[in-house]
Amino acid sequence: MLDEGKYVRITGGNFGIRAEYTEQKLKEYMCNPLIESLPPILSEDEVIDQLSFFPEFNFKERELSASYRYHVISRLFSYFQPFNKHIDLEQRISRVIRQGYIARNPFWRHQAEWQHHSYQALKKGQLVKSAPSDFRRTAIGFTMLGISGIGKTTAIDQVLSLYPQVIIHSKYMQNHFNLFQLSWLKIDCPFDGSIKGMCVAFFAKIDELLGTNYFKKFGSRSNSTDTMLQHMNHLARLHAIGVLIIDEIQHLSLARSGGSDKMLNFFVTLVNTIGVPVILIGTNKAVSILQSEFRQARRGSGQGDMIWNQMPKDEMWDLFIEGMWEFQWTKNTTILTKEINDLLYEESQGILDIAKKLYMISQLRAINTGKEKITSRLIKQVASDSFKLVQPMMKALKSGNPLKIAEYEDIRPIDYDEFVEQYRETIDLKEQIRQQKIIESKKRKKQTSSLKEKVVVMLLNLDVEAEKAQELTERAIKTLGIETKPALIVNEVLNNLNQVDNNQKQRKQKNTNKKDKRDLRFLLEKGRKEKLSAYEIFLDFGIIKNDYEDAG
């Protein structure tokens, strides 16, 4: 264990926080290190402030390449806008943890005695006796149910993040007090609903947090389920677990005959035996499972169950959408209109996970297509072809018919990463093509340059002027292509050069002919042919003037 000030590095690489004790205002919370080491009780405004999370955003990021913007769009997963139900949830968990610790004060004599007897019983393979009645009176819990994607797990995780999970005690009120306190522990119910699977997950989670080897000690297949449950019971007490949260409790429906009842009975045992509050989270599919003993155990606790249904289209919905809409990475900004707001609700039916992913995937597609703008039409297209798996459930929710809704116990989650990968592959292909074009262009330029050099050198050896050699070589390469052999290019250049010389000679000859018509030799020859004297022919062509004209 490495001390790094406020934080303590635990064997295995995880960190715990050094216990700092705060004087309590409520009498029942006083002189209890398990409670005094917790963060202070928050007001509603403080809850909103600490739960709210808005990801980083910079307008300049809109100018980044598509591949980079695919990354930054994922920041929207961390966007969290608390509502009244989140305040309620935080207050419930705050009460649950503290109330559960009241009767587990490690400095109470009966607590120390009971813990010692329980440890001795476990060593002998005997059942742990029930805790004093005070444990059962103070340990409370609740269930949290709702359709998939409504935000149950996200909300729980956000609230739990307000509490340091591992608190390390060493001294309290001048007394030596060594304890690794787990203020909360959250595990998922196994997919097959098995008790052994849950016990193994429990051991592995504590090992992950504390660097222990409980999984190796107690998770062996040779251990019976009852033995595992006893060890789980002991560890929950040993590490002063404040609350145990079991998510995906609907998986109990897949347990073997009698398995779900046995696991629920164990949760009741945690409450009755050691006073650990239990929170069960699941979809509506779990409603029929959470009956009988567990419900009876929670009756009278005053907490009640939390049922999270789809969000109504009210000011809370508007608050969520308006906050989310600010994080837009398309190059062309789209203003949030009532039409778009209504459309997002229509296509998501108030399920926040779907609304968020619909917005994110719409941005992906807008960028991928090059249009760089979110429109109502685009959102409809994305909802239609990218959310096909949830459409039946959406239609049932739109109908408002409980019987139709009951047909779809869960909503299959939308795999955002799958869409990112699809669009990334497209972008990668486009980028590969672009890069290949650049490479080919450079290659052609290099080949052209090399060919040009070879031809020019050959022409210079043939006494062709350097300037002419370069000009005619470039022209010949454009005509014949860079794959042509240098000798053929030279031949083409020489032909062009001869053609140029011939053209120049012809132009020179024409110019010479024009001048010859006034040449004296030409005129004398013409005079002889026409039997004219030199004087007469010169006079006719204006070479000399008439003496009489001059005299006149």
Among 73-87, 221-235, 536-550, the least confident range: 536-550
- Average pLDDT, integer, range 220-231: 84
| Residue pLDDT, tens place only, 177-210 | 999 999 999 999 888 888 888 899 999 999 999 9
Residue 526 located in a structural domain:
yes
Residue-level pLDDT at 261: 75
Q: What is the C-alpha separation between 342 and 402, in angstroms, rounded?
A: 23
Cβ 46 vs Cβ 91: under 8 Å: no
Whether 368 and 470 map to the same domain: the answer is no
Residue-level pLDDT at 132: 55
Residue 442, CA distances (Å) to 428, 435, 447, 452, 477 in order: 21, 10, 8, 15, 16
Instruction: Report whether pLDDT(415) > 80.
Output: no
Residue-level pLDDT at 529: 76
Residue-level pLDDT at 457: 74
Whether 64 and 200 map to the same domain: the answer is yes
Per-position DSSP letters for 387-419, written without gaps between them: -GGGHHHHHHHHHT-HHHHHT--SPPPP-HHHH
Per-position DSSP letters for 305-362, written without gaps between them: -EEE-PPPSSHHHHHHHHHHHT---SSS-----HHHHHHHHHHHTT-HHHHHHHHHHH
| Residue pLDDT, tens place only, 257-274 | 566 777 777 777 777 766
Whether 363 and 272 map to the same domain: the answer is no
Residue 534 located in a structural domain:
yes
Of 263, 279, 308, which residue constitutes the final position of a domain? 308
Q: What is the C-alpha separation between 245 and 480, in angstroms, rounded?
A: 77
Whether 495 and 525 map to the same domain: the answer is no
Higher per-residue pLDDT: 405 or 334: 334
Q: Cα-atom radius of gyration of the chain, to the nearest Å?
A: 44
The edge-to-edge listing of strands for the beta sheet with 175-182 is 2-4, 7-9, 15-18, 166-172, 175-182
Whether 198 and 52 map to the same domain: the answer is yes
Tokens (6 digits) for 446: 């290099």
Exposed/middle/buried for 204, CB within 10 Å: 0-12, 13-18, 19+?
middle
- The amino acid that residue 244 corresponds to is L
Residue-level pLDDT at 293: 47
Residue 498 located in a structural domain:
yes
Cβ 374 vs Cβ 334: under 8 Å: yes
Residue 350 located in a structural domain:
yes
Mean pLDDT, the chain, whole residue set: 80
Whether 45 and 146 map to the same domain: the answer is yes
| Residue pLDDT, tens place only, 150-161 | 889 999 999 999
Whether 300 and 399 map to the same domain: the answer is no
- Average pLDDT, integer, range 484-492: 83
Whether 403 and 358 map to the same domain: the answer is yes
Exposed/middle/buried for 518, CB within 10 Å: 0-12, 13-18, 19+?
exposed
Of 389, 414, 439, which residue constitutes the final position of a domain? 414
Residue 458 located in a structural domain:
yes
Of 365, 381, 414, which residue constitutes the final position of a domain? 414
Residue 114 located in a structural domain:
no
Residue 335 located in a structural domain:
yes
Residue-level pLDDT at 117: 64
Cβ 394 vs Cβ 414: under 8 Å: no
Tokens (6 digits) for 392: 């039946």
Residue-level pLDDT at 294: 54
Whether 200 and 241 map to the same domain: the answer is yes
Residue 176 located in a structural domain:
no
Higher per-residue pLDDT: 418 or 157: 157
| Residue pLDDT, tens place only, 85-122 | 999 999 999 999 999 999 889 887 666 666 666 666 66
> Which of 144-148, 352-356, 375-379, 509-513 is most confident?
375-379
Please give the share of the chain, as a percent, with pLDDT higher than 70: 72
Instruction: Report whether pLDDT(539) > 80.
Output: no
Residue-level pLDDT at 219: 87
- When pLDDT is cut at 50, 70 and 90, the band that residue 418 belongs to is low
Instruction: Report whether pLDDT(35) > 90.
Output: yes
Instruction: Report whether pLDDT(413) > 70.
Output: no
Residue-level pLDDT at 550: 47
Please give the share of the chain, as a percent, with pLDDT higher than 90: 38
Instruction: Report whether pLDDT(134) > 80.
Output: no
Residue with tokens 């459409």: 391
| Residue pLDDT, tens place only, 499-508 | 766 665 656 5
Residue-level pLDDT at 456: 78
DSSP code, position 128: P
Among 129-138, 261-270, 392-401, the least confident range: 129-138
User: What domain range is 537 assigned to?
Assistant: 520-551
Counted domains in the chain: 4
Whether 302 and 338 map to the same domain: the answer is no
Residue with tokens 């019971």: 233
Whether 269 and 371 map to the same domain: the answer is no
Residue-level pLDDT at 115: 63
- When pLDDT is cut at 50, 70 and 90, the band that residue 10 belongs to is confident
* Domain CATH number, residue 253: 3.40.50.300
| Residue pLDDT, tens place only, 457-483 | 777 777 777 778 888 888 888 888 777
Q: Is 3 helix (H, G, I), strand (E, B) or coil?
A: strand
Give the closest residue to 340 by CA, choosing from 368, 327, 321.
321
- Average pLDDT, integer, range 481-506: 75
Buried/exposed 278-306: b ≥16 CB within 10 Å, e otherwise: bbbbbbbbbeebbeeebeebbeebebeeb
- When pLDDT is cut at 50, 70 and 90, the band that residue 163 belongs to is very high
Among 180-184, 305-309, 382-386, the least confident range: 305-309
Whether 155 and 291 map to the same domain: the answer is yes
393: Cα separation from own chain's centroid: 25
Cβ 535 vs Cβ 523: under 8 Å: no
